[in-house]
């Protein structure tokens, strides 16, 4: 599991930050061997205002009941916890047909959890692309907001690039990941139906990989919609330190170029093998790489910039 990343407004250690469902009684731990378990009942929760206004944003997504998802996760058992962050928890679930799903439970009865849910509804439910994680369903129960995604089996770019003990990924694999990610972002910036989408939290932990190392962009909880004629959106600064575009961090003015900056930071990670906090002197990756890139450009030799674990095989 990749380590937590310090963030501004966001803290996540898996691909989807989310929140814990309410406590449930008479719930046993997860058991996927086929043994029948007593399943929790839908909790008695206060009703949130106008859930129909929210659910109307979903187009082709299934409306799961709370009991459906409690059954799939063994009562949201800790044994099925994939990750947690500032907005809640992600649990692994298994549907009756054997299909695995990640289930993102946003913190209940909080403004930020509601905003993230709305952002996902307004963005990822509108798009369909092979390099974007698909939203397959949702659950609205009282103040609970739960999202169900397609399962991407091979963890995250963060995990494969920086996880201790993982095999070194060769240069063609890194290039494949970078290309797939770029195609996903090109789609949300240019090709999807209006309005376009600004992701606002591009980082390795939000790039999921399948078994062939095809990249899928995930976590649209901070995303913003942008009409064709917009110049910028003034917004509260959100995202992850080390990936934020300087102009956005200083002014709060958000454009698609902010995503481009974050993507290039991630590309530097792929090239150099370094994290965004590259050393103990608090240099960020961009500041560390800039003088090396200048020297490499003048001398025509980029070996100093490239991950030494590749042993010159690039």
In the annotated binding site for ATP, the residues are 104
Torsion of CA 274, 276, 278, 280, to 10 degrees: -150
- For helices 171-186 and 256-272, the axis angle rounded to 10 degrees is 170
User: Smallest Cα–Cα separation from 160: which of 89, 292, 266?
Assistant: 266
Catalytic choice (68, 201, 219, 307): 201
Q: Which amino acids are annotated as binding site, given as ranges?
A: 104
Confirm whether 201 is a catalytic residue: yes
Output the CA angle 170-175-181, nearest 5 degrees.
130
Pairwise CA distance, residues 160 & 76, whole Å: 27
Q: Write the burial class of residue 19 (CB in 10 Å: 0-12 exposed, 13-18 middle, 19+ buried).
A: buried
Alpha-carbon radius of gyration of the chain: 20
The catalytic site residues sit at 201
């Amino acid at each position: 599991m990749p380590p937590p990343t310090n963030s501004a407004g966001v803290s996540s250690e898996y691909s989807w930050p989310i929140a814990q469902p309410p406590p449930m009684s008479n719930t046993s731990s997860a058991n996927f061997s086929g043994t029948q378990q007593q399943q929790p009942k839908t909790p008695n929760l206060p009703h949130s205002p106008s859930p129909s206004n929210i659910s109307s944003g979903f187009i082709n997504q299934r409306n799961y009941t709370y009991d459906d998802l409690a059954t799939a996760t063994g009562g949201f058992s800790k044994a099925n916890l994939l990750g947690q962050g500032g907005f809640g928890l992600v649990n692994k679930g298994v549907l009756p047909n054997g299909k695995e799903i990640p289930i993102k439970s946003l913190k209940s009865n909080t403004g930020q959890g509601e905003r993230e849910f709305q952002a996902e509804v307004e963005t990822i439910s509108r798009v369909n692309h092979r390099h974007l994680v698909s939203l397959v369903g949702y659950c609205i129960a009282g103040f609970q907001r739960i999202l169900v995604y397609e399962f991407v089996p091979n963890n995250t770019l963060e995990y494969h690039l920086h996880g201790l003990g993982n095999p070194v990924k060769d240069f063609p694999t890194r290039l494949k990941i970078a290309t797939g990610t770029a195609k996903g972002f090109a789609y949300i910036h240019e090709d999807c139906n209006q309005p376009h989408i600004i992701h606002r939290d591009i980082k390795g932990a939000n790039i999921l990989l399948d078994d062939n190392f095809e990249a899928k962009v995930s976590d649209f909880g901070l995303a913003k919609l942008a009409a064709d004629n917009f110049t910028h959106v003034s917004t509260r600064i959100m995202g992850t330190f080390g990936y934020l575009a300087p102009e956005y961090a200083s002014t709060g003015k958000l454009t698609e170029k902010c995503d481009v900056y974050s993507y290039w930071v991630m590309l530097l990670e792929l090239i150099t093998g370094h994290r965004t906090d590259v050393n103990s002197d608090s240099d960020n990756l961009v500041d560390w790489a800039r003088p090396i890139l200048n020297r490499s450009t003048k001398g025509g030799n980029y070996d100093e910039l490239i991950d030494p674990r590749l042993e010159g095989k690039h």
